[in-house]
């Protein structure tokens, strides 16, 4: 909260409106599904609804945040609170985390003495730099998903359905203490593995098929996100070649990671390796993304991205190749960037497993 207040001052603002729930959880600990946080120079008010009348005060205890149970819309009440305070005010708001409709409601309630100033990613930029406690939580979330993968290798075989594997994966996450998966688990076999974001189906895994397992868990609020690709049977030489090309790209991108490096340069390192194998065009997405309270955060490791990486960032590194009708291969780790080097948080083997 103090780092946020320094930002408000730096931007000559009098207050900031926080609407995105993970940002609210980050700032004051509230984990409900309905909330708006208004942070001023020395006060902060959380607006939520009656369902959280008991939970909200418990969760924000110790943060000097007041809780107001809104009877009308949260944004109307936040706007009315601004109107009630004296004088002209310049209030920062997040343009990508407030809808056109909500903003209209807010402006109407706040009145003409509030000057709205758009500030993208105010809280997201704070969140992108993890402190030691957060890093420890993320280590554990990553260890958990690595263990789940180790357990699953014994289960993946011809005849078992994609969605059975997904069920087993999520059950194991839960049993190890996770609140649940951090995104819809991906288990995609055979030609379906060529769809980077395939949903698991009842289709049984066949013999001699690639299987992409892209899994993540939420542990005490923090996400992990890991992909491994295995083969059921003995892989043909060509598939083996693709696997090693992806692994080479993944290691090249990890090698490129460091505080001060541009995000786009990490992406370029992965693409360069795949180009050497004639697979550049089969890599249809970005190399990675930030990870934390959400499974997709800044920075984005995308083509040409000029953002500079910083110590404290935790990112995924996940190049892949996708051959329509045949199959796909993706390898993904979660990596923390430190002052003096990196730390790979996900620990499952990257050897090409033929099960």
* Residue 43 touching a copy of itself (CB under 8 A): no
- The region of 51-59, 208-216, 310-318, 340-348 touching a copy of itself under the rule CB under 8 A is 51-59
Interface with a copy of itself (CB under 8 A), residue from 158, 167, 307, 355: 167
Closer by beta carbon to a copy of itself, 44 or else 98: 98
Q: How many CB atoms lie within 10 A of CB 72?
A: 11
Q: For a copy of itself, what does the binding mask look like between residues 211 and 250, x meaning CB under 8 A?
A: ----------------------------------------
Interface with a copy of itself (CB under 8 A), residue from 196, 216, 288, 312: 196
Which residues between 1 and 30 bind a copy of itself (CB under 8 A)? Answer: none
User: d(Cα 267, Cα 276) in Å, to the nearest integer?
Assistant: 15
User: Cβ contacts of residue 132 below 8 Å, gap of 6+?
Assistant: none
- The region of 178-186, 242-250, 267-275, 304-312 touching a copy of itself under the rule CB under 8 A is 178-186
Which residues between 284 and 343 bind a copy of itself (CB under 8 A)? Answer: 284-285, 322, 324
Packing angle of the helix pair 100-110, 74-84 (nearest 10 deg): 30
State in angstroms the smallest separation of the CB of 334 from a copy of itself. Answer: 19
* Residue 32 touching a copy of itself (CB under 8 A): yes
Interface with a copy of itself (CB under 8 A), residue from 85, 89, 102, 157: 102
Closer by beta carbon to a copy of itself, 149 or else 352: 149
C-alpha separations of 310 from 26, 136, 265, 329 in Å: 19, 18, 14, 29
* Residue 194 touching a copy of itself (CB under 8 A): yes
- The region of 94-102, 129-137, 250-258, 344-352 touching a copy of itself under the rule CB under 8 A is 94-102
* Residue 152 touching a copy of itself (CB under 8 A): no
Q: Are the C-beta atoms of residues 130 and 337 closer than 8 Å to each other?
A: no
User: d(Cα 186, Cα 198) in Å, to the nearest integer?
Assistant: 6
Cis, bond preceding 299 (omega within 30 deg of 0):
yes
C-alpha separations of 343 from 19, 83, 142, 145, 152 in Å: 32, 48, 12, 16, 24
State in angstroms the smallest separation of the CB of 285 from a copy of itself. Answer: 5
Q: What 3-state DSSP class applies to 307?
A: coil
Interface with a copy of itself (CB under 8 A), residue from 52, 222, 243, 352: 52
- The region of 82-90, 142-150, 160-168, 267-275 touching a copy of itself under the rule CB under 8 A is 160-168
- The region of 3-11, 52-60, 150-158, 238-246 touching a copy of itself under the rule CB under 8 A is 52-60
User: d(Cα 56, Cα 33) in Å, to the nearest integer?
Assistant: 11
What stretch of H or E contains 4? helix 2-10
Interface with a copy of itself (CB under 8 A), residue from 179, 341, 351, 354: 179
| SS3 sequence of 28-95 | HCCCCCCCEEEECCCCEEEEECHHHCCHHHHHHCCCCCEEEECCCCHHHHHHHHHHHCCCCEEEEECC
* Residue 72 touching a copy of itself (CB under 8 A): no
User: Running DSSP on this structure, what letter comes out for residue 1?
Assistant: -
Phi, psi of 220 (to 5 degrees): 45, 45
Closer by beta carbon to a copy of itself, 25 or else 337: 25
Closest to 330 in 3D by CA, of 203, 202, 198: 198
The site for a copy of itself (CB under 8 A) is made up of 31-33, 49-55, 93, 95-104, 118, 120, 163-164, 166-167, 170-171, 174-175, 177, 179-181, 184-185, 194-200, 202, 284-285, 322, 324
């Amino acid at each position: 909260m103090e780092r946020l207040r320094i930002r408000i001052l730096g931007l000559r603002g009098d207050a900031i409106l926080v609407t995105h729930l993970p940002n609210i959880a980050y700032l004051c600990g509230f984990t409900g599904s309905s909330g708006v946080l208004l942070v001023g120079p020395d006060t902060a008010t959380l607006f939520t609804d009656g369902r959280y009348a008991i939970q909200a005060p418990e969760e924000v205890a110790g943060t000097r945040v007041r809780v107001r149970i809104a009877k009308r819309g949260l944004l109307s009440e936040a706007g009315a609170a601004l109107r009630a305070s004296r004088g002209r005010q310049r209030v920062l708001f997040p343009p990508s985390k407030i809808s056109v409709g909500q903003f209209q409601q807010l402006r109407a309630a706040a009145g003409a003495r509030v000057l709205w100033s758009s500030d993208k990613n105010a809280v997201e930029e704070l969140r992108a730099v993890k402190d030691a406690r957060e890093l420890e939580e993320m280590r554990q979330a990553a260890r958990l998903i690595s263990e789940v993968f180790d357990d699953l290798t014994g289960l993946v075989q011809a005849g078992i359905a994609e969605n059975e594997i997904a069920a087993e994966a999520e059950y194991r996450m839960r049993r190890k203490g996770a609140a649940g998966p951090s995104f819809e688990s991906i288990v995609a076999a055979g030609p379906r593995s060529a769809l980077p974001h395939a949903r698991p189906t009842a289709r049984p895994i066949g013999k001699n098929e690639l299987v992409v397992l892209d899994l993540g868990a939420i542990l005490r609020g923090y996400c992990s996100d890991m992909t491994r690709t295995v083969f059921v049977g003995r892989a043909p030489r060509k598939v083996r070649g693709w696997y090693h090309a992806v692994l080479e790209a993944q290691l090249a991108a990890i090698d490129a990671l460091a505080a001060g490096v541009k995000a786009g340069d990490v992406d370029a390192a992965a693409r360069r390796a795949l180009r050497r194998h004639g697979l550049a065009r089969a890599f249809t997405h970005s190399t990675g993304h930030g990870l934390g309270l959400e499974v997709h955060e800044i920075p984005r490791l995308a083509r040409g991205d000029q953002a500079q990486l910083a110590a404290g960032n935790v990112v995924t590194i996940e190049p892949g190749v996708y051959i329509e009708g045949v199959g796909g291969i993706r390898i993904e780790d979660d990596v923390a960037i430190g002052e003096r080097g990196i730390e790979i948080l996900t620990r499952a083997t990257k050897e090409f497993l033929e099960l």
